[in-house]
Structure 1
């Protein structure tokens, strides 16, 4: 079996002699067609962050990432009911393993979902990040006319924008914030009303120019009701962490900050606005099972176009190039095409 092998930060290769997995009771084996490179995979690739939570070891000791993928069921474990061989499915694994020909997946509604007709394997491999966006929007409970800001418009932040638009949320302005112009352009294409690049100047000033300001004894805000932090803390990035800027932007009362982006270590920020403005800071990790189903239905119906977010497609044999490509400023989503139907 071919499988990726992450050996050290900046080093990932391909092995052709990995032992194929066998299904444990309650599991299926998925023959992988397509697997996406996640932002969390990049944290790992850069500095080993989350390695133990993102990879699965083969009996040979190969360390295999990949937790968002699609393929066909190749084997059924003992006690598995309601699934059939050759069925098209999306798999999600908390411990990686998807950047390989085959991977074991627990047959539960959080990790295995059937693909509807009309959705390609490459599209379906973006189901998990789309479901993440749906959960974040649910948690945010956006009120009529509220302005929102989305920090980091990679595949997750773009999915948040798609979720807002597909669900018909009566939002005010949607301000996308990112340092990569290609991603900002894509954000406008799929539904953002405004874009802000921190390279162009102070983020607060740029957002305030769009949304106005509100001032009072609690301080000053940029009239933003909800901030989605899909960037987290990237150690090599200049400037304050997005969470600190979010606290500056957020409304003077009852704002919500939804935190999803990963953190590459400890950070120092000014927490004073938490007391002054009384925002709710909510973590978001994953999705409800029904949001996996909703994500696929949105693709099937055409309510969201996930194909437009796949900027690059490479074979598993080019795994090193694929990770380096995902690090580039022009990349939105790099998709690994593993099986024969992935390019269809």
Structure 2
């Protein structure tokens, strides 16, 4: 079969002599119709970050891809809840291939409802990630929320905020890509900020107003931001303070929450005094609850969330290098590989 093989930063190519997988006990084989390029895939491609654990290794070759959708072609011993020919979403390693084995459990395999296309369904995992972040943030009605990084994950956070929680106050999207910021407005952000052109802290304060920290000497005003959801993490080549530092600086004086999801490509210095002064809650978020994988698909099927508009490009597996370069260009939102495209 054909599969994308990652070898070194900047080097990924299709190879056509990869052995076909076989369904082991408790597994199915999915014929992959669409596989998304994730931010963690991109970090691996750029700097070799997060390489371990992301890829399926076959004969010493590494196949990336962990968010995909397709048709079940074979079932292993003990599998009773899924059948050959059924459309399904898979979460696992090696999705940038024509066929991939997936363990049968509610975290990694879920049936596709009617009315959802393969490319939409391949965004199920990132939407489930977004649903978990919103759950962990515990957004209350009227609270102002800032979302750093509005690629597919951050846009999903905004969609989840609109579809799932009590009405937030202002939803501010921050990104260096104007096209992504435009999409953020389209899916529900009330305001956008491009840090390449604007002072983030001053602009956020102007949008949200301020609260005074009276316990500090002298008393100090901070933006009235209750929640920051960081989908950007730390990207080495980006200039300026990383989102986590800006998040600490912009939170209101007390009761603020930060949810960290974006990958970190390395270490960086940080001023931790706002943690002492403001006593925020900082939570990491990795993955999702099993029920959120199914919820993500139901939101698509019901029309409450439109994921099709977030698919910016589609490539056959033969053009995997071009697909990664497109995902890395700062303009694309979600690039899909179609391993079985004619």
Q: Which residue of 2 aligns with 1:126?
A: 123
Residues 3, 339 of structure 2: 8 Å contact kept: no
- Counterparts of 2:317 and 2:341, CA distance in 1: 12
Provide TM-score, normalisation by structure 2: 0.97
2:210–2:252 Cα contact (<8 Å) kept: no
- What's the offset of the Cα at 1:201? 2.6
Q: Which residue of 2 aligns with 1:82?
A: 81
**Cα separation, 2, equivalents of 1:215 and 1:46:** 42
Identify the residue that residue 203 of structure 1 maps to in structure 2. 200
Size of the alignment, in residue pairs? 338
Q: Deviations over 1:100-155 (max 9, x none)?
A: 00001000000000000100000000000000000000111111100000000000
Match of 1:13 in 2: 13
Cα distance in 2, alignment partners of residues 151 and 34 from structure 1: 27
The residue correspondences of 1:1-344 to structure 2 (distance < 5 A) are 1-59=1-59, 61-93=60-92, 96-216=93-213, 217-218=215-216, 219-340=220-341
- For residues 322 and 202 of structure 1, the distance between their equivalents in structure 2, rounded to whole angstroms, comes to 33
Q: How many angstroms does 1:329 deviate by? A: 2.1
Are the counterparts in 2 of residues 220 and 248 from structure 1 also a CA contact under 8 Å? no
By how many angstroms is 1:166 displaced? 1.1
Deviation at 1:41, TM superposition (A): 0.4
* Deviation (angstroms), 1:333: 0.3
CA distance in structure 1 between the partners assigned to 2:330 and 2:135 by the alignment: 29
SS at 2:52 equivalent: helix
Q: What RMSD in Å do the two structures reach over aligned CA positions?
A: 1.0
> 1:169 deviation in Å?
2.4
Question: How far apart, in 1, do the equivalents of 2:189 and 2:11 lie?
Answer: 36
Moved over 6 A (4+): none
Q: TM-score, normalised by structure 1?
A: 0.97
Hey, what's the Cα distance between the residues in 2 that align with 1:25 and 1:254?
Answer: 48
Q: Distance in 1 between matches of 2:290 and 2:155?
A: 20
Q: Distance in 2 between the 1:179 and 1:161 partners?
A: 17
Q: What runs of 5+ residues in structure 1 fail to find an aligned partner?
A: none
Partner-residue secondary structure (3-state), 2:196: helix
Shift of 1:340: 4.5
In structure 1, C-alpha distance between the alignment counterparts of 2:222 and 2:110, rounded to whole Å: 42
Residues 223 and 251 in structure 1, CA contact (< 8 A), matched pair in contact too: yes
